[in-house]
Amino acid sequence: MSDLKIAFFGVKPWERELIEKEIINLEATGIGIFEEEVQDKIDLASNYEVISPFIYSKMSKEVIDKLPDLKMIATRSTGTDHIDIKECEKRKIVVKNVPVYGSHTVAEYTFALILAITKKIVSANQAVEDGEFSPEGLTGIDLEGKTLGVIGAGKIGQNVIRIAKGFGMKVVAVERARDEKLAKSLGFKYVDLENLLKDSDVVTVHVPYFPATSNDPGTYHLINRTNIKLMKEGSYLINTSRGPIIETEAIIWALNKGILAGAGLDVTEEETMLESCSTVMGDKISKDDLKELLSYHLLRDRDDVVFTPHNAFNTKEALERIVKTTVENIGEYIQKNL
């Protein structure tokens, strides 16, 4: 039995039962499960050697500095952009993620957003709830024959492509490492980002977020006020990846100009602030933070935007896979360090 102290932070009510079920398999004592994020309970977090956060716990250098006993971070996500990986490497802190848990899950949700926004399903439902049983003003578009632009043809992107082909759509894709055999087998064509934006009726984002470095431009504001102008008039934009990949102000501008007929967003640049009470309620909120929060509210209240709360991953099956893999990652660490 290991005496390693382990804590799960940012745990939602629906996760708790899954975690409690899986941690029985860990040969460890002193396991804590907390709803708060790490940065909001730093004194509590400092008591633990293994921490399992979700993406809203910011494992920055400043936070890690206050966790002297930290030996492992087992994030319950695929992305690790909320963790200062270089700082962890310096301190020999092991970082493990969940590389595969829901490539079909997120792809299905992506198409749910595509259908919701192109068929005006949310507006139609709201009209009925408001007592207006009429299709007036609710005309959508067919997907058959339209072009879908997939930014990022990894596992999720490939599953989106498969679904799109079932709808009779043409597909173009952007990917750093091209696989022409894959493109031929799935029936899509590789293009550059500029041509994808110009040619697509619907654009959907499936790349990870990472900031620019000296050797790499990164994916921050990959779609921005400059290149969003290239999109077709009346096209649609979908994001189930990470909020900072698309500049929020660019979306608002493109919607106002009629370049975008609609947007389906499961993520937003501002969601960390929206999730974290310490930021929103704190007295150190910056003008840029306020500007981003205003942009979020301007998008949220539009009829031509379907907005959901970073929910694409959230199915019973995917959650089970996330928790199971996370606990397995922790278990492997314990076995190696007994």
Based on the domain organization, do 146 and 206 belong to the same domain? yes
- Quote the pLDDT of residue 135: 96
Are residues 233 and 245 located together in one domain of the fold?
Answer: yes
What is the full DSSP assignment across 76-123?
SSS--TTB-HHHHHHTT-EEE--S-S-HHHHHHHHHHHHHHHHTTHHH
- Looking at the fold, whether 238 and 270 belong to one and the same domain comes out as yes
DSSP 302: -
Residue 278 pLDDT greater than 90, yes or no: no
pLDDT attached to residue 175:
97
Task: Give the least confident one: 86-95, 224-233, 264-273.
Answer: 264-273
Tell me the per-residue pLDDT of 63-111, one tens digit each, with 9 for 90 and over: 999 999 999 999 999 989 999 999 999 999 999 999 888 899 999 999 9
Does one domain contain both 214 and 331?
no
Do residue 179 and residue 231 come from a single domain? Answer: yes
**What was the pLDDT predicted at 160?**
98
Q: Say what the pLDDT of residue 279 is.
A: 47
pLDDT in tens, 8-64: 999 999 899 999 999 988 877 789 999 999 999 999 999 999 999 999 999 999 999
pLDDT confidence of residue 230: 98
How confident is residue 277, by pLDDT bands cut at 50, 70 and 90?
very low
Q: Measured between alpha carbons, how far is residue 159 from residues 127, 152, 154, 162 in Å?
A: 33, 11, 9, 5
Prediction pTM value: 0.88
Q: For residues 2 and 318, give the distance between their C-alpha atoms in angstroms, rounded to a whole number.
A: 29
Within this chain, do residues 157 and 114 fall inside the same structural domain, yes or no?
A: yes
Say how far apart CA 258 and CA 12 lie, in whole Å: 38
pLDDT tens, residue by residue, 118-140: 999 999 999 999 999 999 999 99
Q: What is the CATH number of the domain that holds 57?
A: 3.40.50.720
pLDDT score at 284:
55
- For residue 107, what are the domain limits? 103-307
Q: Is 211 within a domain? A: yes
321 and 299, same structural domain? no
Spatial distance between the Cα atoms of 327 and 22, rounded to a whole number of angstroms:
7
Residues 270 and 131 occupy one common structural domain: yes
> Would you state the pLDDT for residue 281?
46
Examine the pLDDT at 292 and tell me if it is beyond 70.
no
Looking at the structure, tell me whether residues 208 and 291 fall in a common domain: yes
**Catalytic residue positions, numbered:** 242, 271, 310
